[in-house]
Amino acid sequence: MRFGRVALILAAIVLVSFAVAQDEFWLPRYDEANTGVSGDSLKLPVSLQWKHSTGDEVAIPVAMPAVGSEMIYAPVGPVIYALDRTTGELRWSQEAGADIYSSPALSGDTLYYGSRDNSVWAVNAADGEVMWRYPTGGAVDCSPVVVGNMLYIGSDDNRLTAINLDTREAVWQFETSGDIKASPLVYRDVVLVGSQDRHIYCLNSQGRPMWTKSTTARAFFAAPTGERTKVIYACGKELIAREIYTGRRLWRFQTAGIISGSPCVRDRKVYIGTAAGALYAIDANTGRGLWKYPADGVTEAVTSSPTVVDDMLVFRAGARQISAISLRDGTQRWSFLLPEPPEKKAAAAGGGAMGDPMMGPEGGMFPGEGDPGAVIEGPVAGGDINVGNNDDQRADRKYEMADNVDPAIAVSGNSVYVVGDDNVVYGFAATSADNVPPVISDAILEVPGKGRQRVNFSPNVTSDDDFEGRYADEIVIPGTPPIFLSMLVRDEGSGIDADKVRVLVDGEAIDDFAYDPKEGVLWYIYDPRGAAMNLANGVRNIVFEATDWRGNRAGVAVSFTIDNKAQPPEPPQPKQPEMGGMGMEFGPEGFDPGFIEPPPPPM
């Protein structure tokens, strides 16, 4: 009897395990229509729960992670890393022989993805063991779409292939005249796919064409999205909506930047990001623009697909920033700045005192400067037009996926997962504790020096509850504007709440400061309009405050002395390289030091 009971218990455990495995399902755009809508919820703020370094110093990450019940599966370079969802510990890794740009799909106990080794891979999701491989005639950068027992995937052999997962054989193939990089859209009995041959194709369930439409874009990286009986797809700087069964164009929306990521659709609205650094909400029925984020200015380039979860749009901007904004009006709900990749740190360190980008708010770093997309666009009538940027006109330009697409953010079960440009996998969770305040450091004081060249000091930083004026006598400068004092602001828990960043001068909160959340840089700026009035003599005590999304606050102070009788400081002396006795003088980067124009004040 005891043996019988044990056998029944073991059988029950096996059945439960089998049921759990069968329930595992994940697609790169969350469903076969590529809507980009997560079926889970996300309670903000989330905090960093773990990070896992792959140790790869060469790979350019492109693919987003796949999420299972216990593990996430992150492609970096030629390797898939299976990481514990709770701890980030490595469970297993599997090398594909070439870079993986294909975001994996998970169905039951099997993980599917493409590789640049000209193969579609199927591996055991539990241990990474290779179950089978399907050979193609070209690299497979396209992410797979699994519907029932069918897998649809494109490759650089110009073919879209429908593979029966039971027989592991192709049911049909459709050949275009160009590489297929973007995931197909499966809607009921039709399949839609874009090709690098500048066409989008609608196929029936047997892979036969129903209609074909030309596009003007040189690259087709974004998966088309289904919205009821419409297909909505990105094409260069355009978003186009067509009837799925007839191909009739319904509307066209033009942006100021290339659209590399796939659209999201929810409640008859479409959401997209652009390489010009803007996100748009668009009416799915009319193609009319509803709002733009940021409303003024731009963020970093949005070259990955955003995700809709609850009433928010979660997206990645540039190499470092991840954010969540409201679907209703684009107001920010959360943001986090990933660490700077090592190669960028090395480049900044080599800039020298005069060339360091941290030395002042230059180069369009203020909101609104150089904004190519500040005016909201709308539907465009008429025939097809060339909407590429100037680079699109260069016939010899090769558009590579790795240069144009960043890994999207995966949202599942009150958690967020992303692969950073540093090839580190980051896991955030709403349940992760965060009791650590932000870090404010690396103070740099920038003032006009002799010869109208800027001079930089590194003042001592103290706690804001220390006595005012500490270390003020170590730096004595005239009060001639413009004067800039910058700090780096970092938080590795829940991220910096930009609305709670403050600067106080001699105990009074001021408005003449700038905070750049894209780089984590905070400036105090003295550059008055009109007559250039010097700062008054005496000690200046500047306090910088930052608060994270969990409410942890940090404050630091920097002090210096203004003496308007003091001489302007000497700029750093340029080195004199050996030029065969010519005696020529050069600056830090090998150029004549000459006159350096001070940076403009913020608008």
Which residues fall within 8 angstroms of residue 423, CB to CB, at 6 or more apart? 53, 54, 55, 56, 57, 59, 61, 76, 77
463 burial (CB, 10 Å; 0-12 / 13-18 / 19+) is exposed
Is residue 224 included in any domain, yes or no? yes
Say if residue 383 is in the same domain as residue 265: yes
3-state SS assignment for residue 358: helix
Is residue 251 included in any domain, yes or no? yes
Checking if the pLDDT of 186 tops 60, the result is yes
Say if residue 468 is in the same domain as residue 551: yes
Model confidence pLDDT, tens digit, residues 85-103: 999 999 999 999 999 999 9
Is residue 36 included in any domain, yes or no? no
In the prediction, which pLDDT does 452 show? 80
Say if residue 375 is in the same domain as residue 447: no
CATH of the domain at 461: 2.60.40.10
Say if residue 392 is in the same domain as residue 541: no
Is residue 117 included in any domain, yes or no? no
Query: What is the β-pairing status of strands 538-547 and 502-505?
Result: antiparallel
Say if residue 382 is in the same domain as residue 476: no
**Cα 405 from Cα 600, distance rounded (Å):** 33
From residue 342, how far is each of 64, 320, 415 by CA, in Å?
Answer: 21, 12, 26
Say if residue 257 is in the same domain as residue 353: yes
Model confidence pLDDT, tens digit, residues 15-62: 434 434 458 999 999 999 999 999 999 999 999 999 999 999 999 999
Which residues fall within 8 angstroms of residue 383, CB to CB, at 6 or more apart? none
Say if residue 388 is in the same domain as residue 448: no
Model confidence pLDDT, tens digit, residues 99-158: 999 999 999 999 999 999 999 999 999 999 999 999 999 999 999 999 999 999 999 999
Checking if the pLDDT of 219 tops 90, the result is no
pLDDT band for 574, please (50, 70, 90 cuts). Answer: low
What is the pTM for the complete model shown?
Answer: 0.83
Is residue 427 included in any domain, yes or no? no
Mean pLDDT of the 167-191 span: 97
How many domains does the chain fold into? 2
Domain range for 509: 439-562
Is residue 494 included in any domain, yes or no? yes
In the prediction, which pLDDT does 341 show? 79
Say if residue 458 is in the same domain as residue 541: yes
Say if residue 460 is in the same domain as residue 391: no
Is residue 20 included in any domain, yes or no? no
Q: Which of 544, 562, 580 is the last residue of a domain?
A: 562
Which has more confidence, 5 or 593? Answer: 5
Is residue 537 included in any domain, yes or no? yes
Tell me the DSSP string of 164-185: ETTTTEEEEEEE-SS---SPPE
Model confidence pLDDT, tens digit, residues 490-523: 999 999 999 999 999 999 999 989 999 999 999 9
Model confidence pLDDT, tens digit, residues 418-453: 999 999 999 999 999 999 999 999 999 999 999 888
Say if residue 359 is in the same domain as residue 259: yes
Share of the chain above pLDDT 90, in %: 74
Say if residue 248 is in the same domain as residue 329: yes
Neighbours of 361 (CB within 10 A): 23
Say if residue 273 is in the same domain as residue 391: yes
CATH of the domain at 255: 2.40.128.630
Checking if the pLDDT of 285 tops 90, the result is yes
Q: Which of 390, 405, 420 is the last residue of a domain?
A: 405
